[in-house]
Structure 1
Amino acid sequence: MKKRKVHAVEDAEDDLEIPSVNRQRYRTLCSYEDAQVRYPERLVLAFIEDARQLAVENGIEFRLWNYCKARLDGDSLELIPACRQQRGQAAVEDAHPLAACKLSAVVNATGSWVDLTLGQLQIESRRLIGGTKGSHLVTRHPVMRALLKGQGIYAEAEDGRPVFLLPFSDATLIGTTDIPFDGDPAQVSTSEKEIEYLLRATKQILGDIDIGREDVELYYCGVRPLPYVEDGSSPSTTRRHFIEQHPQAPLPFFSVIGGKLTTCRSLAEEVTAKVLEPLGLEVTNSSAQREVPGGADYPVGSYALSSRLKQEAVACDMTREQLQPIWNLIGSRTQAVLRECMHDRSYGSGYIQTAAGVLPVPLVRWIIRNEFVTFLSDLVERRLMLLHESPLTVECLRELAKLMAAEGVISQEAVSSEVESCITGFKRYGLWLRSLTD
């Protein structure tokens, strides 16, 4: 890590690594290095894969159920399918359980849904979550990208709230708002007022830049699982995490409040220790030095990464351009995964065209088989990370849905409706897809 430095804003004229900011607003810039997780969804999948590998190493069963509702009766739990693809025409309350088991303890780690989960399981509790929504914009404004020079900027908006401008693949990410939110986190959406606020803050930071609503390609938001503080202001609410035990529950029951990517592993270890204590068990291992799948033997520095990609491309009989979007998804596992699926005829053959390049059909089918895909939106938004690519086309969605049908995840008859459902869902991000035949 390089040491922190202080720069005069005028230095940006002669330095290719110092971003250009509003000289009338700022006099100096302080620089430091930080990490960026471009695809947190892929990081979650890597942690899931790590758990599966640990189960194999220790000879225990690993199972994951997606899109379920839980029903708790004493120390017995039933998982009920929450989507029609799993339960058929039956209502949720009449659906046959996917699984039933006896529990030693429960950890409610449902983030912004913690209070809703407690209510669903009929666990009495004070209000734990005082969520705030944060919205983000994605733009490919060329002048903005040139002013940033590949760097990120953290600054304050006029109301004192932190705002960031970050490189985001071939685009720029603008964030974020911090507004109290009390509803269902699944229904949260970005408002035009928030978009105007972030664009105004961008202009204040960068100076006289001509950026407007038409430059926003898409927007999205989420709800931070912050602790509930009565009459507390959003920016001042602590970002620390807490673990709440529910003594009135019929078995050891814990809820996790707060948490973020930078502390997720230490939080998991803290929760584990707290859960094992009433069970009379001890922690036997630590994840502190355990490499995340896809991060093992990862090249350090841009030159080492470029060399590694060239070597992997030759080994996989691909061009570097073909390999790059795959590496972006699964990192150092790329060669092993491609070796598994590209030489197995059951995965098919061919390529699917995306805005970032082409994806091998065998890889897409491998992801459908191994990464718990239920809906087309899972595959597009949270597995292949195509939502941020421009342009994302209807043809691409249709080809992906056909592969899901080939894998038996959806029926052939459901391909069109799945595509339409996906397109409708994208409108919440301000994204309207075009067809190549239009």
Structure 2
Amino acid sequence: MLSSITRPKVKQFMGEYQFDLLVIGGGITGAGIALDAVTRGLSVALVDMQDFAAGTSSRSTKLVHGGLRYLKQMELKIVSETGKERDIVYRNALHVTEPERMLLPFHKGGTFGKLTTSAGLFVYDKLAGVKKDERREMLTADETLEMEPLLKEEGLMGGGHYVEYRTDDARLTIEVLKKASQKGALCMNYMKVEKFIYSDKKVRGAIIRDMLNGGQLEVNASVIVNATGPWVDEMRGKDQISNDKRLKLTKGIHIVIDQAVFPLRQAVYFDTADDRMIFAIPRGNKAYIGTTDTFFDGDPSNPIANEEDITYLLESIHYMFPTIKVERKDVESTWAGVRPLIYEEGKDASEISRKDEIWQADTGLITIAGGKLTGYRKMAETVIDQVVKKFPTTSFGPCVTEFLPLSGGEFDNEDHFETFLESKANESLLYGLTKEEGRQLASLYGTNVDTILNYVNAVSTEKSLLPTLWKAEVLYAVHHEMAMTPSDFFIRRKGDLYFNIGFVKHYKEEVTSYMAALLSYDAETSEAHLKQLEQHIKEAECKGGA
């Protein structure tokens, strides 16, 4: 179980056992590697110096997409692989992914024309193995405006309509980790690798510092995989031998605007005045817009949006949606993420390939870098194919993750999922919730929702300023998702810092107090965690902060 309460016991065991594999990095790539390995029969430990998914894996455009942009760059293999992988991700995690119809308008003189859009989407359908009912359709200018009336009418020639998949990137990562944990992997957040341990010039373990209490432990493993995303080069620098591969970091930012100001009806993928491509996506009663693509050389642990980034996206909205008069004050929240890309000489930020690469040092340290959220499962399979070769006398099973539902995703098909949502919406009335609350819970937690409902029942008589439903979700995050701080809860477990920031500001003290009681924070720790959350709020609002 991925529990904050049992964390000391997991930590003790991690320091006493000889593992087959130590995975460094608890983002989507590391999580996928841990799940693939443990389901083949390897003993697995995973550590991350921050919270799980706190890096790139909670800061993306939140799409499991097939890589249409890479068709433009003629990276056909990436289009084919990611297109097929996104269907696997969707099938195994229906509760955290959903189809999102995307509109690609084309204007006179724009990046895309009718023929290139039609041909491109046709090839995309074929390469990505798109299901028949999700294949592209071409629209006239009038049909395009009917789908999204806010679009710029001047020069509009039509549009392409195709399907992408929307997700919650952090929750997807957490569900992968929960499944790995259920299968026997030991996973811990806030555990930083300080240095490697060697035997016969080969990496055989690591000294790891607990970032919450400062203690250290030694973790021994036959093989170590470095899946630290933007920190890949830093981790390789702790190793004895390196090679000439290195990363180039790029930053992307997104802004969130209320639908009352930007009543976006339809997700749109559009080109800007400077021929960049931007997404505008409705999500609940909000719309979010991104992403930018600029080189980044700051601290990857906490990238933030700057005013130049925000102005660029606001100008992009004005360019494609000229009747919408959004202003800086309308931006409710922002997030920024760093992409760890393999360095390519002479290419600008948007041109560098998103392909993944795996390489191995003479010490045996395996590193994976680059890649996309959509391709995490296939990347993990490729890594573990290499890992098992290091055990020539041991027979491990085949990769099984293609047909392995993630935690909470145990559904036969989309119809089964919809029936489940309706059933839980009705059942939630028995717990004093509304049908809408029940449906939202079921869609967020999937088949794990019964545990939440049991917590709702257990705390319903407690007197507290914190609503019963929120207490139940905090309990679940602590007991089943290793949330250690209120920031973990609000940002990575719920996503509310971005899409419900008013609620975070209103309940930040109550959630901190409730978690303090559950996790025995002292007064100093409580204050530190609250200040950290308040800093994240400032940064999301771009109202100061480091």
- Normalising by the smaller structure, the TM-score range is 0.7 to 0.9
User: SS in structure 2 opposite 1:33?
Assistant: strand
Structure 2 contact 251–294 (Cα < 8 Å) conserved: yes
Structure 1, 41-50 or 22-31: larger mean CA deviation: 22-31
The residue identity in structure 2 corresponding to 1:192 is: E
Select the residue among 274, 278, 281 that pairs with 1:163.
Answer: 278
Question: Quick check: 1:406 aligned with 2:522?
Answer: no
Residue in structure 2 matched with residue 92 of structure 1 by the alignment: none
Shift, 1:323, TM fit: 2.2
2:153 is aligned with what amino acid? R
How far residue 141 of structure 1 moved from its aligned partner, in angstroms, is 4.3
Residue type at the aligned position of 2:423: R
1:81 is aligned to 210
Write the distance in 1 (CA, Å) between the matches of 2:254 and 2:470: 31
Taking the TM superposition and a 5 Å limit, the aligned residue runs for 1:275-424 are 275-280=387-392, 281=394, 282-297=396-411, 300=414, 304=419, 307-314=422-429, 316-339=431-454, 341-342=455-456, 349=462, 359-387=469-497, 388-424=499-535
- Report deviation, 1:395: 4.5
How many angstroms apart in 2 are the aligned matches of 1:209 and 1:400?
Answer: 36
SS in 1 for 2:483: coil
Structure 2 matches for 1:27-176, cutoff 5 A? 27-37=157-167, 39-55=168-184, 62-74=186-198, 75-82=204-211, 85-87=212-214, 96-97=215-216, 99-142=217-260, 144-145=262-263, 148-149=264-265, 151-176=266-291
For residues 305 and 153 of structure 1, do their structure 2 counterparts lie closer, same or farther at Cα, with a shift above 3 Å needed? Answer: farther
Per-residue CA deviation, residues 372-423 of structure 1 (Å, 9 max, x unaligned), is 2222211211113221204135451111111111112522453334222311
Question: Which deviates the most, 280-289 or 26-35?
Answer: 280-289
* Aligned pairs (5 A) from 1:211-250: 211-247=326-362, 249=363
| 1:253 aligned partner | 365
Structure 1: distance between partners of 2:473 and 2:259: 32
Asked if structure 1 preserves the Cα contact closer than 8 Å seen for 2:314 and 2:327, the reply is yes
Unaligned residue ranges in structure 1 (runs of 5+): 56-60, 88-95, 434-438
Maintained 8 Å contact 1:377/1:422: yes
**Structure of higher RCO (CA pairs closer than 8 Å, 6+ residues apart):** 2
- Please state which structure has a larger fraction of its residues in strand: 2
When the two structures are superposed, what TM-score results if normalisation uses the length of structure 2? 0.68
TM-score between both structures, scaled by the size of structure 1: 0.84
Alpha-carbon RMSD across the aligned residues, in angstroms, is 2.7
State the Cα distance separating 1:350 from its structure 2 match: 5.8
Identity level (%): 23
What per-residue deviation string (whole Å, max 9, x for no partner) do you get for residues 237-293 of structure 1? 11111111112x2xx211111122211111111111011113325542320011111
> Any conservation in 2 of the 1:135–1:220 contact (CA below 8 Å)?
yes
Which deviates further from its counterpart, 268-277 or 368-377? 368-377
Distance 1:78-1:306 versus aligned 2 partners, 3 A rule? closer
**Which secondary structure state, in structure 1, belongs to the residue aligned with residue 402 of structure 2?**
coil
What is aligned with 2:69? none
**Amino acid in the other structure paired with 1:106:** I
Cα–Cα, structure 1 residues 160 and 27, in superposed 2: closer, same or farther, change >3 Å?
same
Structure-2 separation of matches of 1:121 and 1:329: 40
Shift of 1:366: 2.7
